[in-house]
Amino acid sequence: MEISIGILIAFLIPQVVHIGTQEEGEKGCVPGFQVKEYQVENNRGFQKDHPLTQMLFDDCVGNEGMAFEVSHPDFQVDEEMNLVARRDVMDSGTVMFIHGVNEHAEDMAQVDIVGALPRSPQTLREILGLGQIQPYRSKRALFAPRMHVSENMEPPFPKVIGTLQVMSSGMEDNHIFHMTGSGADQDPKGVFTINRLTGEVSVSQELDREAINSYMLEVSVTDLNGKLVEGPVALLVDVNDQNDNRPIFKETRYAGEVLEGSPTGTVVMTMTAEDADDPRLQNAVLRYNIVRQSPDKPSPNMFYINPESGNIVTVISPTLLDRETLPTTQYELEIVAQDMKGRDVGLTGTSTATITITDKNDHAPEFTHSLFQANVDEGSTGVVVNLTVDDRDDPATGAWRAVYSIINGDPTQSFEIQTNPDNNEGMLSLIKPLDYESLVFHTLLIKVENEDPLVPDVGYGSSSTATVHVTILDVNEGPVFFPDPLQVTKMENVPLGSFVALLNATDPDVLQSQSIRFAVLRDPANWLSVNPVRGTVNTSANLDRESPYVQDNKYTAIFMATDNGSPPATGTGTLVIHLEDYNDNAPYVHPSVVRLCEDAMDSVVIVGGRDRDIHPNTGPFKIELGKQPGLEKTWKVSRVNNTHAQIMLLQNMKKANYQLPLVVTDSGLPPLSNSTEIKVQVCTCKKNRMDCSGAGSVRSNLMLLLGLVLLSLLCL
């Protein structure tokens, strides 16, 4: 039992005594018990709730959430950190251990009882008073309590922050402490050092918790020969935070907007800042405040910011939050974020919030006049009059942009109205010409609305409609042809002076007595003439359907009619003559030059008939030999189809050029024949090559010639 108690005390002593032996800088704070050993005199026992001594413990951040455990179950540490007895105690023992802990610090202290008899027996559970201690392993006697060090400690360095302890029966005193890990022999190297003989752990430089908030090291003990005696054991060093970081807003300027007339308490935007200090401490607990509002009218406190969430809400009443009556539509707020829960000792950061009061459609557009008037010439189109309106809403929104409509007075839909995007005016335009002789006065009723709907409590009044009087002015209009175009059908080659058509034109100005004269404006082939008074059109030249001026069997001419008004007015009309074909073009043979081989067995060629006329004055064509005697003994012409014939050489001929007379006849009524000649080149043909050099021709590929013949047949 004595050995067990000795081992237990060996476990507790290094955590109680040696943690508190570090030196502090002039301004540094070492968390834990500020006094490690206390003495209390036992004079015939201890009375219930009577203070024995006050425990001096400081976690360097306010001692919030402290908890103490006493190794003797009959004692406790009260709220004022006094050690008191839970009941009247006579058997206190000679020593007690106090364990203090919160989220920022952990330490142990020893209380010696002077004049007390030793307690017997004492169990491990009694001494610790924790009830959760794991079974102790007697082989392990190196203890590394968790250590704490404040960031930003001032020189001189090094400073002791704690001490390791080896307590083991049978262990020699000549042992050496070792420390490894990040912060010792690994990057960042040299932050912590250990006294190899005493086990004191020291910090050698100023630390920054925001860079590294804790260090995990390993410590061990060897003998003088380097043989491992104890360990390795984990050593955790926490870097305690100091309030050395100001709150920082992500942006220097924030933008938000709120709709005019919004209820009080409407959330406009949220401002948030960040603090790099320990979020578990007040060093990083922020509070927000509005320190300036510009402008400060109609109230210097139009907005409020929730100190904890950073939500900016409206404070001003909905009635006063009127975009049209406020001195400006943008307000600038200077926001301050302060740590330490906003206490005066806290650090601050500043940003700016720009809040725009946005528009809602609470004003209907109104015409500046109830009546608009305009004069327009008959027959014209385009803008007639610009209608002006007033709207107090924001010009950049659909609450201001106007939409016009004609609600009465335009049964023929001759007018349209569009919005000028630059000034919001309504541009009333004529899209169909109006006739003075039909109607002189037009009265339109125009309505104006907004793109966006009005708010429920606002409606369109009488000022949102206006009347427009449009007066049509008389203009001398040109004569109008009817029909236009005038279409007639004529046979080509009719005699000169033949009647073609009678032009019909009337003057729209029925209220005026005016005469009309006709003239030719465009006659591409100069085939026509017109009587200026009667308007009769006659031929002045031969009408030729095959002329290049005729397209798709149609010839087009344009005439004009002019009245005697002041000034005179002219109208134009079109005459389209559909020309019927007359068989006035004899057919011809194509091609006019052909090639044959001198060997009669290989001598064949295809020719076709062509005609500038159209059906029925073209094919079928009849192609035959001319009437010269003896041709039939050398040449043979036979029909292939309705348009082509085959020419064959009946006997061998010498290589030379021959003129072959042919007669081609079309199928017109009456039919036309044409006696013509084609040039036949008789050539030498060897190995699919045609040699016409002696016949005044260059060499040609016979297979190509045959291919062209077959292609001609396929196209028939």
* Tens-place pLDDT, residues 347-398: 999 999 999 999 999 899 999 999 999 999 988 999 999 999 999 988 888 9
Maximal C-alpha separation, the chain: 173
Averaged over 442-465, what is the pLDDT?
93
Q: In this model, does residue 597 exceed pLDDT 70?
A: yes
* Tens-place pLDDT, residues 98-151: 888 888 888 888 888 887 665 444 443 343 333 333 333 334 468 888 898 989
Which residues make beta-bridge pairs with 365?
A: none
What whole-number percentage of the chain has pLDDT above 90?
56
Residue 402: which pLDDT band, with cuts at 50, 70 and 90? very high
> Which element (helix H / strand E) includes 95?
strand 95-101
Q: Which of 9-23, 125-139, 168-182, 319-333 has the highest mean pLDDT?
A: 319-333
Distance CA 163, CA 38 (A): 19
* Nearest Cα to Cα of residue 246 among 352, 353, 350, 152: 350
* Nearest Cα to Cα of residue 506 among 516, 493, 518, 519: 516
* Tens-place pLDDT, residues 41-74: 888 888 899 899 999 999 888 888 899 988 788 8
- Entry field: residues in the chain: 716
CB atoms within 10 A of CB 662: 22
Pairing of strands 673-686, 593-597: parallel
Distance CA 153, CA 582 (A): 121
Q: In this model, does residue 246 exceed pLDDT 90?
A: yes
pLDDT for 342: 93
3-state secondary structure of 164: coil
* Nearest Cα to Cα of residue 680 among 634, 628, 621, 611: 634
Averaged over 191-216, what is the pLDDT?
94
pLDDT for 105: 83
28 versus 7: the higher-pLDDT residue is 28
At 72, list the tokens: 């003797």
Q: In this model, does residue 10 exceed pLDDT 60?
A: no
* Tens-place pLDDT, residues 688-708: 788 887 654 333 333 333 343
Residue 173: which pLDDT band, with cuts at 50, 70 and 90? low
pLDDT for 168: 53
Residues 621 and 613: beta-carbon distance below 8 Å: no
605 versus 708: the higher-pLDDT residue is 605
pLDDT for 167: 61
CB-count burial class (<10 Å; 0-12, 13-18, 19+) for 323: buried
Q: In this model, does residue 170 exceed pLDDT 90?
A: no
Q: In this model, does residue 221 exceed pLDDT 80?
A: yes
Which residues make beta-bridge pairs with 443?
A: 469
Radius of gyration of the chain (CA): 59
Residue 565: which pLDDT band, with cuts at 50, 70 and 90? confident
Residue 20: which pLDDT band, with cuts at 50, 70 and 90? very low
Contacts of 170 (CB under 8 A, 6+ apart): none
**Domains of the chain as residue ranges with CATH:** 32-114 (2.60.40.60), 142-240 (2.60.40.60), 248-358 (2.60.40.60), 366-473 (2.60.40.60), 480-580 (2.60.40.60), 588-691 (2.60.40.60)
Pairing of strands 604-610, 486-491: unpaired
Residue 672: which pLDDT band, with cuts at 50, 70 and 90? confident
Distance CA 295, CA 304 (A): 15
Q: In this model, does residue 9 exceed pLDDT 50?
A: no
Q: Which of 195-199, 601-605, 665-669 has the highest mean pLDDT?
A: 195-199
pTM, full prediction? 0.49
* Tens-place pLDDT, residues 273-285: 999 999 989 999 9
Q: In this model, does residue 338 exceed pLDDT 90?
A: yes
Q: Which residues of 477-507 are buried (b: 16+ CB within 10 A; e: fewer)?
A: bbbebeeeebeeebebbbeeeeebbebebeb
Q: In this model, does residue 182 exceed pLDDT 90?
A: yes
Averaged over 541-549, what is the pLDDT?
92
690 versus 680: the higher-pLDDT residue is 680
pLDDT for 600: 63
pLDDT for 25: 36
pLDDT for 584: 83
- Angle, alpha carbons 413-414-419 (nearest 5°): 90
Mean pLDDT of the chain: 85
